[in-house]
């Protein structure tokens, strides 16, 4: 076990403290004038917003939603490819429900989402589990079933398990799996990471192991802690990283010890290793991040929808900054601006009529802030220069 | 998509388990936990139909209290 895990164990992982007690501990710290804490998980952002943690914390602390939404960063060309496949081939296309409403950048009269393609007659079905894909493929042996599998490690690992366990010959994968830590590595390697401490994702670490996140402290000297989804766990992680910052001792703390182990879930990692390899991958609005995507290994390429239907891969669509015009989702994803600082937030882009993917997904920061009651648009040309105290 | 829901195992059949939470029953794959010793009555955290980790009954209860609060908060 890394030394960091034991350094403050009685305090920062003492999960018997209440949220109120953690808030008192945080207030008692000798805080700098301004601290930016980034999270990398839509679930964390949801808990922070719904519990009103921004309003409860001292005003010098900024909680910044980062690249924690797999739907938001799923490449536009992959969504477009899925739409075109569903419209033009005799297939059934399956996708996690959030993906159906993600718009692509096409002219107004063209079909711009899987939902619209379904309304136009394509056989597209939302699913909640890879097991449903296995069942549907078994029930329709004469039809090709394409499972558009977008997600981070927590979701891609079950997809890998499904593949390793074995699927019917007619089930194909349109894979858009991504790894979370390379996005943080990219930010930290940039001239302006935009945060002082990091809250690492709880369920990604449950599957992949906490050790994946050690580089944040060890390579970059940035305080870090893995958090669960309760206000207590999140506040413990916030406290831990603040104390690390103040004491000048950065390490990776584990404030979700009930689920997160150093090695993660070894079986899940073995399945990922067996079925998939890690490749450079495009992130919508961000660009290619080295070693941040999953691809099927050669032994499983018979399942690869891109090999079966190569005509639908459109390289000309592969470009960074492919968010809709006027949409700041790319900057929201990278923590460069807050959702309500986008000019479209609430004025044209709402959960009912989303323009950017961050307003579509339950894990998108814009959608979460809207659900949390943030209605005012603060677009004023300034970003990250104010302290967010509302939630 | 990364949210995990704690459920209690009712019955195990190979790599599949009938699991229950808050009166709702689901078939859950234990394939990702095949190296764990699991039996009926145990609690697991389930993500997209797959159990990703075993948890104690207390941890499952705590997680459900949180989800209840979140569901109430988002109504």
Question: Looking at residue A14, what is its pLDDT?
Answer: 59
Q: What is the pLDDT of residues A228-265, one digit of tens each?
A: 998 999 999 999 999 999 999 999 999 999 899 999 99
Other Cβ atoms within 10 Å of A311 Cβ, number: 10
Q: Does domain B5-73 have CATH number 2.40.128.280?
A: no
CB A69 within 8 A of CB A99: no
- The vertex-A161 CA angle with A155 and A166, nearest 5°, equals 135
Contact with chain B for residue A208, Cβ under 8 A? no
Distance from CA of B33 to the nearest CA of A (A): 7
Tell me which of A41, A50, A273 to substitute to probe the interface with B (most B C-beta atoms closer than 10 Å): A50
Looking only at the bridges linking them, the beta strands covering B24-29 and B16-21 are: antiparallel
Q: What is the pLDDT of residues B25-70, one digit of tens each?
A: 999 999 999 999 999 999 999 999 999 999 999 888 887 887 777 6
When the candidates are 3.40.50.11740, 3.40.50.300, 3.30.590.10, 3.90.1150.60, the CATH number that belongs to A71-179+266-271+292-311 is 3.40.50.11740
Tell me which of A19, A203, A209 to substitute to probe the interface with B (most B C-beta atoms closer than 10 Å): A203
Those residues whose C-beta lies under 8 Å from the C-beta of residue A382, and which sit 6 or more positions away, are A341
- Asked if A155's CB is within 8 angstroms of B2's CB, the reply is yes
Task: Return the H-helix or E-strand segment holding A114.
Answer: helix A114-119
Residue of B nearest to A228 (CA): B63
Q: Does domain A3-8+17-69+180-255 have CATH number 3.40.50.11750?
A: yes
Q: Which residue has the tokens 């506040």?
A: A235
Of B2, B62, B73, the CB nearest to A203: B2
Q: What is the pLDDT of residues A333-372, one digit of tens each?
A: 999 999 999 999 999 999 999 999 999 999 999 999 999 9
Question: Looking at residue B2, what is its pLDDT?
Answer: 58
Q: What is the pLDDT of residues A126-153, one digit of tens each?
A: 999 999 999 999 999 999 999 999 999 9
Coil, strand or helix: which one is A60?
Answer: coil
- Asked if B33's CB is within 8 angstroms of A154's CB, the reply is no
Sign of the Cα torsion A49, A54, A55, A56 reads positive
Task: Return the H-helix or E-strand segment holding B54.
Answer: strand B50-55
Question: Looking at residue A15, what is its pLDDT?
Answer: 61
The domain segmentation of chain A, as residue ranges, is 3-8+17-69+180-255, 71-179+266-271+292-311, 329-371
Say how far apart CA A133 and CA A5 lie, in whole Å.
Answer: 40
- Asked if B52's CB is within 8 angstroms of A206's CB, the reply is yes
Question: Looking at residue A198, what is its pLDDT?
Answer: 98
B3 chain-A contacts, CB cut-off 8 A: 43, 203, 229
The domain segmentation of chain B, as residue ranges, is 5-73
Coil, strand or helix: which one is B16?
Answer: strand
Low-confidence ranges of chain A (pLDDT < 50): 1-13, 382-391
Question: Looking at residue A271, what is its pLDDT?
Answer: 98
Say how far apart CA A40 and CA B2 lie, in whole Å.
Answer: 11
How distant is the alpha carbon of residue A109 from its chain centre? 30
Same fold, A3-8+17-69+180-255 and A71-179+266-271+292-311: yes
CA terminus-to-terminus distance, chain B: 19
Nearest to A188 by CA among A202, A198, A203: A198
How large is the ipTM?
0.90
Those residues whose C-beta lies under 8 Å from the C-beta of residue B10, and which sit 6 or more positions away, are B17, B18, B19, B20, B25, B40
Between positions 220 and 249 of A, the ones with CB within 8 A of B are 229-231
A204 chain-B contacts, CB cut-off 8 A: 2
Other Cβ atoms within 10 Å of A324 Cβ, number: 18
Task: Return the H-helix or E-strand segment holding A267.
Answer: helix A266-275
- The vertex-A71 CA angle with A69 and A75, nearest 5°, equals 115
SS3 breakdown of chain B: % helix, strand, coil, rounded to 5?
25, 45, 30
- Asked if A128's CB is within 8 angstroms of B2's CB, the reply is no
Contact with chain A for residue B41, Cβ under 8 A? no
Specify the DSSP class assigned to residue A275. H
Tell me which of B1, B6, B13, B28 to substitute to probe the interface with A (most A C-beta atoms closer than 10 Å): B1
**For residue B74, how many C-alpha atoms fall within 13 Å in the half-sphere facing its CB?**
16
Residue A91 phi/psi, 5-degree rounding, is: -130, 165
Say how far apart CA B54 and CA B43 lie, in whole Å.
Answer: 6
Show the beta-strand stretches assigned E in A34-185: 35-39, 61-65, 91-96, 124-127, 144-151, 171-177
Contact with chain A for residue B63, Cβ under 8 A? yes
Query: Which pLDDT band holds residue B1 (cuts at 50, 70, 90)?
Result: low
Say how far apart CA A179 and CA A152 lie, in whole Å.
Answer: 6
Tokens of A90: 């005799």
- Asked if A132's CB is within 8 angstroms of B49's CB, the reply is yes
Mean pLDDT to the nearest integer, B7-14: 96
């Amino acid at each position: 076990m890394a030394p960091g895990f034991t350094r403050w164990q009685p305090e920062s992982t003492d999960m018997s403290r209440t949220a109120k007690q953690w808030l008192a501990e945080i207030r008692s710290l000798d805080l700098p004038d301004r601290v930016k804490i980034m999270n990398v998980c839509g679930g964390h952002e949801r808990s922070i917003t719904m519990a009103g943690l921004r309003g409860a914390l001292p005003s010098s602390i900024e909680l910044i939603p980062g690249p924690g939404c797999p739907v938001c960063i799923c490449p536009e060309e992959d969504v477009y490819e899925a739409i075109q496949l569903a419209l033009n081939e005799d297939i059934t296309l399956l996708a996690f429900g959030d993906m159906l409403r993600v718009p692509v950048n096409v002219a107004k009269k063209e079909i711009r989402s899987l939902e619209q393609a379904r309304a136009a007659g394509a056989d597209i079905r939302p699913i909640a589990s890879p097991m449903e894909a296995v069942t549907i493929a078994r029930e329709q042996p004469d039809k090709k079933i394409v499972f558009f599998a977008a997600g981070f490690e927590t979701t891609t690992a079950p997809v890998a398990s499904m593949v390793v366990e074995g699927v019917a010959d007619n089930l194909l994968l349109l894979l858009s799996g991504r790894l979370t830590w390379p996005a943080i590595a990219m930010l930290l390697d940039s001239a302006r990471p935009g945060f002082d401490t990091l809250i690492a994702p709880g369920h990604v670490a449950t599957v992949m192991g906490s050790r994946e996140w050690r580089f944040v402290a060890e390579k970059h000297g940035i305080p870090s802690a893995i958090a669960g989804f309760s206000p207590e766990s999140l506040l413990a992680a916030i406290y831990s990283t603040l104390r690390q910052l103040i004491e000048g001792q950065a390490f990776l703390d584990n404030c979700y010890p009930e689920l997160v182990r150093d090695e993660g879930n070894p079986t899940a990692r073995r399945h990922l290793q067996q079925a998939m390899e890690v490749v450079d991958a495009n992130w919508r609005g961000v660009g290619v991040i080295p070693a941040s995507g999953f691809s099927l290994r050669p032994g499983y390429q018979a399942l690869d929808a891109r090999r079966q239907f190569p005509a639908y891969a459109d390289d000309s669509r592969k470009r960074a900054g492919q968010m809709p015009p006027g949409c700041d989702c790319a900057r929201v994803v990278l923590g460069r601006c807050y959702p309500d600082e986008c000019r479209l937030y609430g004025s044209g882009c709402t959960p009912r009529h989303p323009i950017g993917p961050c307003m579509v997904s339950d894990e998108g920061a814009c959608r979460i802030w809207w659900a949390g009651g943030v209605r005012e648009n603060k677009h004023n040309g300034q970003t990250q220069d104010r302290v967010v105290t509302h939630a | 998509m990364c949210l995990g829901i704690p459920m209690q195992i009712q019955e195990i059949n190979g790599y599949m388990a009938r699991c229950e939470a808050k009166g709702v029953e689901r078939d859950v794959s234990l394939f990702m936990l095949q190296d764990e010793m699991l039996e009926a009555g145990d609690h697991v955290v389930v993500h997209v139909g797959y159990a990703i980790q075993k948890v104690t009954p207390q941890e499952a209860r705590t997680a459900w209290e949180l989800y209840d609060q979140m569901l109430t908060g988002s109504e």
